[in-house]
Amino acid sequence: MKRSVLPVLTVVLALLVIWYGAAVWLNAAWAQDRATRAGVELSLAELVADTWAQDKPKLPAPHQVAVELWETTVEKKITSKRSLVYHSWITLSATLLGFALGTALGIALAVGIVYNRVMDMSVMPWVIASQTIPILAIAPMIIVVLNAVGISGLLPKAMISMYLSFFPVVVGMVKGLRSPAIMQLDQMKTWNASPAQTFWKLRLPSSLPYLFTSMKVAMAASLVGAIVGELPTGAVAGLGARLLAGSYYGQTIQIWSALFMAAALAAVLVGLIGLVQRLVLKRMGMA
């Protein structure tokens, strides 16, 4: 544990240095511009200080994003429309619902593919084709179509999350359900086990390591789906809405803080799955 701290810190430090440097480089033009118009000459120190403290910088400095994050999470009431916690919750709820739907759909399709020859031959190409369509192209259509039949709010966004998250689960679970050795399947046959018994007692437990791995990918994809689902709808709440509003009004600090919030959310969610994975597989003697 201790040995890994130093390399990680080194990388973080290097990233911060590069970031601050890039902020100077990208924001210097605007600072110079303003100084020229005001008819003042900037020293190097003044220039650097200015590039790290602009209202609408091209690239906000890390401490600006940190301050924004602090102000919009800790200092705002979570019921406030300006609280990042509130927006995160909106996105999180769609993510979790979409993830649950996507995982369920993925497992159902995988079971069908493994147990049904017709599905094995026909479903997989469609599953793959579904992922080649850019989600940005199909997201507005899902929203519009569902809106037309009277479904709005959480569910359309969750559907887009599901659309992205079922794919890794199908692929992982097909592999997982097929992971038992021929010998183990023969053994089931010698006991005259029914297909259902073989599924519950052998195939499903064998597939769990694959399921957890694909659920991690699915969770990250699900979050992306929820955010993308908030972009084309002119949603007023959610991390996607924060990104969109930020880009409308040039609020780069707001965009970056929403991005960091999304990244932190993804890290926590994937980490939670990893934790459950460790506990379950250890208990099953498979880790």
Partner 1 sequence: MGAGAGQAVAGQGAAPAGAVIAARNLDLTFQTGDGPVHALKGVSLDIRKGDFVSFIGPSGCGKTTFLRCIAGLEEPTGGSLSVNGMTPDAARRARAYGYVFQAAGLYPWRTIGRNVSLPLEIMGYGRAEIAERVARVLALVDLAGFEKKYPWQLSGGMQQRASIARALAFDADILLMDEPFGALDEIVRDHLNEQLLQLWARTDKTICFVTHSIPEAVYLSTRIVVMSPRPGRITDVIDSPLPRERPLDIRDTPEFLDVAHRVREGLRSGHAYEG
User: Please, what is the minimum distance in Å from the beta carbon of residue 204 to partner 1?
Assistant: 11
Report the residue number, 41 or 186, with the smaller CB distance to partner 1. Answer: 186
How many Cα atoms sit within 13 Å of 147 on the Cβ side? 9
Give CA separation, 60 vs 208, 250, 260, in Å. 43, 11, 13
**Distance (Å, rounded) from C-alpha 108 to C-alpha 102?**
10
**Distance (Å, rounded) from C-alpha 241 to C-alpha 126?**
31
User: Please, what is the minimum distance in Å from the beta carbon of residue 10 to partner 1?
Assistant: 38
User: Please, what is the minimum distance in Å from the beta carbon of residue 200 to partner 1?
Assistant: 10
Number of helices and strands in the chain (H, E): 12, 0
Q: Which residues bind partner 1 (CB under 8 A)?
A: 181, 183-184, 186-193, 197, 201-202, 205, 284-286
User: Please, what is the minimum distance in Å from the beta carbon of residue 278 to partner 1?
Assistant: 15
Report the residue number, 93 or 187, with the smaller CB distance to partner 1. Answer: 187
Report the residue number, 63 or 282, with the smaller CB distance to partner 1. Answer: 282
**Distance (Å, rounded) from C-alpha 246 to C-alpha 228?**
15
User: Please, what is the minimum distance in Å from the beta carbon of residue 213 to partner 1?
Assistant: 17
User: Please, what is the minimum distance in Å from the beta carbon of residue 209 to partner 1?
Assistant: 11
Tokens 């401490």 correspond to: 63
**Distance (Å, rounded) from C-alpha 223 to C-alpha 244?**
16
Q: Give residues with Cβ within 8 angstroms of 247, minimum separation 6.
A: 255
For residue 109, the tally of other CB atoms under 10 A from its CB is: 22
Report the residue number, 201 or 278, with the smaller CB distance to partner 1. Answer: 201
Report the residue number, 32 or 187, with the smaller CB distance to partner 1. Answer: 187
Report the residue number, 132 or 190, with the smaller CB distance to partner 1. Answer: 190
